[in-house]
Chains A and B, each alone.
Chain A
Amino acid sequence: MRNFIIPDVPPEFADVRDFGTPPQKTTETVTLTIDGYEVTVPAGTSVMRAAVEADIMIPKLCSTDSLEAIGSCRVCLVEIDGRKGAPASCTTPVESGMVVHTQSDLVNQLRKGVMELYVSDHPRDLLTSPTNGLNLIQEVSAAVGLREVRYGKGANHVIDRVDDGEANPLYRNTDASNPYFSFDPTLCILCFLCQRACDDIQGTFALTFEGRGFDMAMVPGQDQPFFESDCVSCGACVQVCPTGSLLEKSVAEMGTPERSVLTTCAYCGVGCQFEAQMRGDKLVRMIPYKHGKANHGHSCVKGRFAYGYANHVDRILKPMVREKITDPWREVEWDEAIGYAAKRLKEIQKKHGTDSVGVITSSRCTNEETYLVQKMARQILRTNNTDTCGRVCHSPTGYGMNTTLGTSAGTNDFDSIEFTDVAMMIGCNPTDAHPVFGSRLRARLREGMKLIVIDPRRTDLLNTPHIGENIHLATKPGTNVAILSAIAHVIVTEGLTDQEYIHSQCDVDAWNGYVEFISDPRHSPEAVEATTQVPANLVRDAARLYASAGNGATYHGLGVTEHEQGSTAVMCIANLAMMTGNLGRPGAGMNPLRGQNNVQGSCDMGSFPNEMPGYRHISDPETRAIFEKAWGVPLPEEPGLRIPNMFDAAIDGEFMGFYIEGEDLMQSDPDTSHVAAALEAMECVIVHDLFLNETAMYAHVFLPGSTFLEKDGTFTNSERRINRVRKVTEPKNGYADWEITQMLANALGGDWNYTHPSQIMDEVALTTPSFAGVTFDLIDQLGSVQWPCNEDAPEGTPVMHVNQIKRGKGLFIDTEYVASDEKTGPRFPLLLTTGRILYQYNVGAQTRRTENEAWHSEDVLEIHPHDAEERGIAAGDTVRIASRTGETTLHAYITDRVAVGVVYTTFHHPGSQANVVTTDSTDWATNCPEYKVTAVQVSRTNAPSDWQQHMKDTAEATRKILVAE
């Protein structure tokens, strides 16, 4: 699988050769001679890697440049002048003046002998093997000129039965238990690459080698099938396997790929780059791109394998319309659907006023798509009623960081973790929700990075094998501001602050006032212990560790933002970073982990109802003037409706027309019955999506969307990195999503003539200072670019606030804890908090339509053994969970990962629909819903809730389609 041509990428990024061993980071160089060529490489480089630098490929089996070499296969032997024997080139570091011979009679003879041994216990009928063309045993046998195998029949791992018909005790059957890849032990050469990848890259430690000598075998877990082991199906072992012993089932089915297109994963905010490996126009497999700057060649089960939804039978490929939501859907041509949608929106505006319509995009859309949707709202519909699902996840991050630091931008890149001494993870669960970054964190934890986790639940990061010093502050849900203020209290009162940083970089008056505020004993860990339920001494330990361990970095997720005090908690974190001087350099910083692939980008692109692209308030006349000039119309200057306000306005009869691209409001927004009532009250709901999602039950127009494999554009990940999405196949629905929005805009009276998404990005650059230097060409050239990218930073900005905090002076904010309105009581004594699982993504629209269902086919309710016992609940029981808002049922999973008094579930499945239970309570500053705190009661039951039954009936009734003749 080498020598792939990657379109649109210049040679330095197309180099996907395997250098055999990892690069060295030193600037010190060493010059040596290999086969007569002089080569200069960084000190510490292996002879093997130096040879590849000189375009000399030494045969190898057990090494790859993503893992440290162990020198087990003995194929890469070389001769070195002045040294005895033939050392392995993968484990021999270069030395100055070294003279290396990669070909000689001695090494040829040795290599041939080694290969003869390998082949003697390897299947010979590889012509019809799925690994044909991928198996390095074939390639290296050819390279060393192996022409005969002198060893006759004997003990082997290859044939299932010995001559007398007895079962061969050494033979192991193929393990096909994993839905995505199989393991054929007969092809295994015991090179340990899979195990090393699992340990060193992924950090799961699921694989082991059992037995000694000829009995040795690679086995998952305790000699279990893959599916039953700890394996998380990241694909790292499959990727490094040199023989195809571990192989994607898709390759076995479709044959080997013949070309690659470089693109970006459409799951999660890590933003991994992938080679979409193709045969013709069919996608054979996704291989994480080794030069992807967010993932460096690693992947998780979602990005690597869970793309089958693109071809799922549920996908809607023809536009559909209906008069009333009780009518069956009618398939129509694009013209008719677009015309119908435009007509109804215009009628609504005429009848109910300009601001009676609005738009929403999803964080799953590209930058170019979201830009167009907000442009359509402002330029053509002439309203600021535009929002994006970033509203319901990270809007408090934006508000809090902008207030304190002057920009909503996350401060550092992922690579910064290499320099971090202590990582404080607050309300985030990276091994499930940001798995590739989770693996990097685990690698750093094994290297000694210290860890603080602030989370009601014991996240898997705390179960990292070989973890060092770590502290878990298991907070009661809803008390983040109390605990973060207590940490600040300790740092300030114990004199652990960085006075030089504060006095040079921050507003000193604000600091002095803040010191007085935070020093008050009411903020001490002891004083808030009863509130947070975290032992005070642990809080003090955590504060001291964060403030004194060197580079301290914070990472936060929706466990911080999705609260009534979400914005205040974000400001707490900024306060901590500023007071310890942990900003403006690699290893430190304040890093929001954005949930979906393009949360960052969809917010950047002006999707919010009070902000134009680049986070400029719509009341600013200069900003409006820029867009008025570009778009040729006066722009509305009053804030529009945010998502929760839209629902309220719909119920009040003031918001009647809705264009929703890629977002399933019914499943993802809190208080489902409120959302349903709002959607039902509207006169025209246009859903633009891949599937008839839950929201589409209430839609009048359905515009079929395209997947990320079928369009061009960009996604911006959590580190502000703009990555290219490249079309690998034609859109099955006929059009890329940006084209569909353009058709609708033009039917509404616009005159848009974009012919490629690059032109949309050019318009963003023209109008938005932080994107002024961004073009598709630049992204192609650099591989990716982190905004701000402009004259001051032509190649982008990996780390923010380097010489100065963006705001000028960092602003400390007093962060008074206010208890959530949502309180437990006799009727609802437990607190529900919600989250995500590795195998599913957001509302599950994509992952539920893949084999990932094998791991997680339903949402379960995690409940502490004590709370379960009190209620007579046994593992697996069906339980009813009820809040003041609504009730649903799911199965109980009893675990002490959650504290007494806390229950936890995920919201990936519409059947259980956790958001029936969540309330309409929101963050004070941004209206981000408080998904993370709901007072509930849990009890045994044996029937679905009324809501579930009602939705099941409604879903069936509203999804009928009349197929056009």
Chain B
Amino acid sequence: MKKRKSDDTLIRMANQIATYFDSQKRQDAREGTADHINGSWTPNMRMRLINMINAGDADIGSTVVAAEALIRRPAERPTHEEGGL
């Protein structure tokens, strides 16, 4: 499928999140990244990211790829808690 402009945006957002969690030494970067995405991305945005990871998109950073299994699939019950925007 042809990549949309918003796909690039999703990848950039995911990579930015991973960059932050990569710098957190006291937290697992994969969990941090996945938690953050689970807590603030719509199911559709998450599925699109998962699909792009599985399609091997070269722009996606290694932490995001490693976090793939922890990103919640839309049908699952949410467990993440995050607050305070």
Choice from A638, A648, A814, A920 contacting B24 with Cβ under 8 Å: A814
Choice from B16, B26, B85 contacting A924 with Cβ under 8 Å: B16
Q: Is the CB of B24 within 8 A of A813?
A: yes
What 0/1 readout, one digit per residue, does chain B (1-22) give for beta carbons within 8 Å of chain A?
A: 0001110010011001101100
Q: Is the CB of B42 within 8 A of A638?
A: yes
Q: Is the CB of A402 within 8 A of B84?
A: yes
| Chain A, interface residues (CB within 8 Å), range | 35 or more
Choice from A603, A608, A924 contacting B20 with Cβ under 8 Å: A924
With A639-B40, A816-B23, A924-B20 in contact, is A648–B9 under 8 Å at CB?
Answer: yes
Q: Is the CB of A642 within 8 A of B40?
A: yes
A614 to chain B, nearest CB (A): 9
B56 lies within 8 A of chain A by Cβ: no
Chain B hits for A564, CB < 8 A:
16
Q: Is the CB of B23 within 8 A of A927?
A: no
Report how far A906 CA is from B82 CA in the complex, Å: 34
Known: A391-B85, A652-B6, A816-B23. 5 other contacts (CB 8 A): A390-B85, A402-B84, A617-B81, A814-B23, A925-B17
A355 lies within 8 A of chain B by Cβ: yes
B79 lies within 8 A of chain A by Cβ: yes
Report how far A401 CA is from B85 CA in the complex, Å: 9
Question: Which of A305-313, A453-461, A509-517 has 4 or more CB atoms under 8 Å from chain B?
Answer: A509-517
Chain B hits for A920, CB < 8 A:
9
Q: Is the CB of A654 within 8 A of B81?
A: no
Q: Is the CB of B25 within 8 A of A637?
A: no
| Chain B, interface residues (CB within 8 Å), range | 20 to 34
Chain A hits for B40, CB < 8 A:
610, 639, 642, 926
Chain A hits for B12, CB < 8 A:
821
A90 to chain B, nearest CB (A): 50
Which residue of B is nearest A603, CB measured?
Answer: B85
With A513-B25, A568-B20, A638-B43 in contact, is A925–B84 under 8 Å at CB?
Answer: no
Interface set, chain B 55-85, CB cutoff 8 A to A:
74, 77-85
B81 to chain A, nearest CB (A): 5
What 0/1 readout, one digit per residue, does chain B (22-59) give for beta carbons within 8 Å of chain A?
A: 01111000000000100111111100000000000000
Q: Is the CB of A398 within 8 A of B85?
A: yes
Choice from B19, B26, B42, B80 contacting A617 with Cβ under 8 Å: B80
Report how far A603 CA is from B83 CA in the complex, Å: 11
Report how far A704 CA is from B40 CA in the complex, Å: 33
Report how far A926 CA is from B37 CA in the complex, Å: 11
Which residue of A is nearest B76, CB measured?
Answer: A638
Report how far A248 CA is from B7 CA in the complex, Å: 56
Which residue of A is nearest B6, CB measured?
Answer: A648
For the complex of A and B, list the 9 residue pairs with the smallest distance between their C-beta atoms, beginning with the closest. A402-B84, A619-B78, A924-B16, A816-B23, A648-B6, A408-B84, A398-B85, A615-B83, A398-B84
Q: Is the CB of B82 within 8 A of A818?
A: no
Interface set, chain A 910-939, CB cutoff 8 A to B:
920, 922, 924-927
B53 to chain A, nearest CB (A): 18
Q: Is the CB of B79 within 8 A of A651?
A: no
Chain A hits for B78, CB < 8 A:
618-619, 637-638
Chain B hits for A638, CB < 8 A:
42-43, 74, 78
A620 lies within 8 A of chain B by Cβ: yes
Report how far A223 CA is from B82 CA in the complex, Å: 59
Q: Is the CB of B6 within 8 A of A639?
A: no
With A513-B25, A513-B26, A619-B78 in contact, is A926–B39 under 8 Å at CB?
Answer: no
A682 to chain B, nearest CB (A): 15
Report how far A513 CA is from B24 CA in the complex, Å: 10
Chain A hits for B42, CB < 8 A:
355, 609, 638-641, 645
Chain B hits for A927, CB < 8 A:
13
Choice from A399, A651, A814 contacting B25 with Cβ under 8 Å: A814
A551 lies within 8 A of chain B by Cβ: no
Q: Is the CB of A619 within 8 A of B5?
A: no
Chain A hits for B17, CB < 8 A:
924-925
Chain A hits for B16, CB < 8 A:
564, 924
Chain A hits for B77, CB < 8 A:
637
Choice from A509, A617, A645 contacting B83 with Cβ under 8 Å: A617
Chain A hits for B83, CB < 8 A:
402, 408, 611, 615-617
Report how far A390 CA is from B84 CA in the complex, Å: 12
Chain B hits for A644, CB < 8 A:
9
Which residue of A is nearest B22, CB measured?
Answer: A816
Chain A hits for B25, CB < 8 A:
513, 517, 814
With A651-B5, A813-B24, A814-B23 in contact, is A639–B39 under 8 Å at CB?
Answer: yes
What are 19 A-to-B residue pairs whose CB atoms are below 8 Å? A401-B84, A402-B83, A408-B83, A615-B83, A615-B85, A618-B78, A638-B78, A639-B39, A648-B5, A648-B6, A651-B6, A813-B24, A814-B24, A818-B20, A818-B23, A821-B12, A920-B9, A924-B17, A927-B13
Q: Is the CB of B26 within 8 A of A509?
A: yes
Interface set, chain A 606-634, CB cutoff 8 A to B:
608-611, 615-620
Report how far A639 CA is from B47 CA in the complex, Å: 13
A407 lies within 8 A of chain B by Cβ: yes
A395 lies within 8 A of chain B by Cβ: yes
Chain A hits for B26, CB < 8 A:
509-510, 513, 814
Chain A hits for B4, CB < 8 A:
652
Report how far A814 CA is from B29 CA in the complex, Å: 13
With A509-B26, A648-B9, A818-B19 in contact, is A654–B84 under 8 Å at CB?
Answer: no
A135 lies within 8 A of chain B by Cβ: no
A379 lies within 8 A of chain B by Cβ: no
Q: Is the CB of A407 within 8 A of B5?
A: no
Report how far A924 CA is from B77 CA in the complex, Å: 25
Which residue of A is nearest B4, CB measured?
Answer: A652
Chain B hits for A649, CB < 8 A:
6, 44
Choice from B9, B23, B79, B85 contacting A611 with Cβ under 8 Å: B85
Chain B hits for A652, CB < 8 A:
4, 6
A277 lies within 8 A of chain B by Cβ: no
Chain B hits for A367, CB < 8 A:
none
Report how far A391 CA is from B39 CA in the complex, Å: 16
B60 to chain A, nearest CB (A): 15
A403 lies within 8 A of chain B by Cβ: yes
Report how far A857 CA is from B45 CA in the complex, Å: 42
Chain B hits for A395, CB < 8 A:
85
A655 to chain B, nearest CB (A): 10
Q: Is the CB of A619 within 8 A of B85?
A: no
Q: Is the CB of A617 within 8 A of B44?
A: no
Choice from A641, A814, A926 contacting B85 with Cβ under 8 Å: A926
Q: Is the CB of A924 within 8 A of B19?
A: yes
Report how far A365 CA is from B13 CA in the complex, Å: 30
Chain B hits for A925, CB < 8 A:
17, 20, 36
A643 to chain B, nearest CB (A): 12
A824 to chain B, nearest CB (A): 19
Chain B hits for A645, CB < 8 A:
42, 45
Q: Is the CB of A407 within 8 A of B23?
A: no
Chain A hits for B19, CB < 8 A:
818, 924
Report how far A649 CA is from B7 CA in the complex, Å: 11
Report how far A837 CA is from B66 CA in the complex, Å: 46
Interface set, chain A 362-406, CB cutoff 8 A to B:
390-391, 395, 398-399, 401-403
Q: Is the CB of B79 within 8 A of A619?
A: yes
Which residue of A is nearest B78, CB measured?
Answer: A619
Which residue of B is nearest A387, CB measured?
Answer: B85
Q: Is the CB of A615 within 8 A of B24?
A: no
